[in-house]
């Protein structure tokens, strides 16, 4: 529940895909669960001109389309919810349009008796973040808090992340910055450590192997332009896979100690020579194939992808947590698009036990047996919140436990950058794998097995 006095939310990037697919449905879910309180208002901000009633209609359509079965059944509720929304066309390069936005915000707060607490959700194209942040600071009401929620990617490498961080710190303090990694909002991630304790797992440093596997059947969809610059390593490993690993092995429960999470990332042994990259990292790119019975095109034929692109859509790597307790535990991270099926999970193998935690589909499996009672108990959520809804409500409450601190971003890029640099140096045509399969052919993965099984 938000604090008494209500809240004003700004969604920057209001006409974008993320807002439509994730944020509006998440806000609706929170409103339905009574977690936005009685009084709240949302200003959608984007560059394009849109009449307020057109925007309200967009919000209704987006929530209906992306709320599963609830969507169409609750159309009336959704229409009532969307009346909390209004629109503002803002050119982020233009100070005057921010002044207008600030006036609009004051007006809404006065009219609705809101307290002055404001949450700004930055769901813009990442190259606009720095520029936008400078002006967003001017949106403080002067009467309550102003918090900034920043979507990924936070930079494209260490240098750009540092530059974005500097821009943000010119106007905000770290305490008011909420960097989203939506995997940290997933229910199974929240109960990960409890699940391991409840099935009486030995300490994780006794594991023979830890594997984090984030496999997808979708391709790059409409995001070819972004993805072709990013690739799987930066899109999924730098953030989600490393955050899962750090959450799993940090020596404090539930990410309650920021230092402990960050330490895990800082302990990762650098993979920073061409030989080390060849031995420990496999990459590939999907060709054409069949997924879920549908023929799909090769990555290079996707819209906005370069026809000779060398960008990886699959990456698997073996790494070592170079701390005394962990040095003998092989860690294996793997992610890819256009694979056989969507499957995100963590598997921990001990000498006499295997534990498998499925984030998607949900599952807690112990030595091949589903722990159904434990699943039902740990995953029960009366409000059925999704990851985004959970994170938004925590930002409203000022709880930063499941948001990513700048130190973690820095540590993650510090580890990722040398791998990218070695790929640039070691020019080799990328291996293709058939869409709908298991990724690059087995032969390519042999070095990984040798390293991790050693």
Q: Minimum distance between the CB of residue 354 and ligand BG6, rounded to whole angstroms? A: 23
Residues 177-196 that bind ligand BG6 (CB under 6 A): 182
Closer CB to ligand BG6, 247 or 344, in the complex: 344
Rg of the Cα atoms in the chain = 22
Q: Minimum distance between the CB of residue 102 and ligand BG6, rounded to whole angstroms? A: 31
Q: Which of 240, 252, 304, 383 is catalytic?
A: 240
H or E stretch covering 172: none
Q: How many residues bind ligand BG6 (CB under 6 A)?
A: 5
* Residue number of the CB atom closest to ligand BG6: 235
Q: Helices 406-425 and 258-267 sit at what angle, rounded to 10 degrees?
A: 10
H or E stretch covering 103: helix 95-112
Exposure string for 378-392, b = 16+ CB within 10 A, e = fewer: beeeeeebbbbbbbb
CB atoms under 10 Å from CB of 429, counted, come to: 8
Residues 330-359 that bind ligand BG6 (CB under 6 A): 344
Closer CB to ligand BG6, 211 or 216, in the complex: 216
Closer CB to ligand BG6, 287 or 336, in the complex: 336
Is residue 320 helix, strand or coil? coil
Q: Determine if residue 417 is left, alpha or beta; phi over 0 gives left, psi from -120 to 50 gives alpha, anything else beta.
A: alpha
Asked if 451 touches ligand BG6 (CB under 6 A), the answer is: no
Residues 138-157 that bind ligand BG6 (CB under 6 A): 152
Is 240 among the residues known to form the active site?
Answer: yes
- Cβ atoms of 126 and 2 within 8 Å: the answer is no
Q: Minimum distance between the CB of residue 18 and ligand BG6, rounded to whole angstroms? A: 10
Q: Minimum distance between the CB of residue 344 and ligand BG6, rounded to whole angstroms? A: 5
Residues 212-231 that bind ligand BG6 (CB under 6 A): 216
Closer CB to ligand BG6, 152 or 366, in the complex: 152
- Cβ atoms of 235 and 221 within 8 Å: the answer is no
Closer CB to ligand BG6, 22 or 118, in the complex: 22
Residues 6+ apart with CB under 8 A from 274: 422, 425, 426
Q: Minimum distance between the CB of residue 302 and ligand BG6, rounded to whole angstroms? A: 13
Asked if 235 touches ligand BG6 (CB under 6 A), the answer is: yes
DSSP assigned state of 368: T
DSSP assigned state of 173: -
User: What does the binding site for ligand BG6 look like in residue numbers (CB under 6 A)?
Assistant: 152, 182, 216, 235, 344
Active site residues: 240
């Amino acid at each position: 529940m938000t604090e008494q006095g209500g809240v004003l939310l700004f969604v920057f990037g209001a006409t974008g895909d993320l807002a439509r697919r994730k944020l509006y449905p998440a806000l609706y879910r929170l409103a339905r669960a009574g977690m936005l309180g009685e009084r709240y208002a949302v200003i959608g901000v984007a560059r394009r001109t849109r009449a307020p009633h057109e925007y309200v209609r967009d919000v209704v359509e987006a929530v209906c389309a992306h709320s599963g079965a609830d969507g169409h059944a609750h159309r009336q509720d959704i229409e009532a919810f969307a009346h909390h929304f209004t629109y503002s066309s803002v050119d982020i390069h233009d100070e005057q349009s921010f002044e207008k936005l600030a006036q609009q915000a004051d007006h809404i707060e006065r009219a609705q008796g809101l307290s002055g607490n404001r949450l700004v959700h930055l769901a813009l194209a990442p190259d606009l973040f720095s520029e936008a942040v400078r002006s967003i600071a001017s949106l403080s009401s002067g009467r309550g808090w102003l918090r900034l929620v920043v979507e990924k990617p936070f930079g494209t490498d260490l240098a750009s992340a540092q530059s974005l961080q500097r821009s943000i710190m010119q106007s905000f303090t770290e305490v008011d910055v909420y960097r989203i990694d939506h995997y940290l909002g997933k229910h199974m991630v929240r109960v990960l450590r409890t699940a391991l304790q409840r099935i009486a797992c030995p300490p994780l440093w006794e594991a023979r192997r830890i594997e984090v596997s984030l496999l997808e059947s979708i391709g790059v969809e409409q995001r070819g332009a972004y993805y072709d610059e990013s690739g799987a390593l930066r899109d999924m490993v730098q953030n989600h896979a490393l955050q899962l690993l750090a959450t799993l092995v940090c020596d404090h429960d539930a990410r309650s100690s920021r230092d402990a999470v960050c330490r895990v990332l800082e302990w990762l042994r650098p993979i920073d020579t061409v030989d080390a990259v060849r031995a420990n990292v496999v990459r590939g790119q999907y060709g054409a194939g069949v997924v879920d019975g549908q023929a799909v095109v090769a990555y290079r034929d996707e819209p906005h992808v370069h026809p000779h692109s060398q960008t990886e859509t699959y990456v698997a790597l073996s790494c070592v947590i170079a701390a005394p307790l962990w040095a003998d535990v092989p860690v294996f991270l793997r992610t890819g698009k256009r694979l056989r099926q969507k499957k995100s999970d963590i598997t921990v193998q001990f000498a006499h036990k295997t534990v498998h935690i499925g984030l998607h589909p949900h599952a807690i499996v112990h030595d091949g047996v589903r722990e159904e009672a434990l699943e039902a108990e740990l995953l029960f959520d009366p409000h059925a919140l999704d990851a985004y809804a959970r994170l938004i409500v925590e930002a409203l409450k000022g709880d930063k436990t499941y948001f990513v601190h700048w130190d973690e971003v820095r540590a993650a890029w510090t580890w990722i950058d040398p791998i990218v640099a070695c790929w640039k140096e070691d020019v080799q045509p990328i291996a293709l794998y058939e869409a709908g399969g298991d990724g690059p052919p087995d032969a390519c993965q042999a070095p990984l097995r040798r390293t991790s099984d050693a």
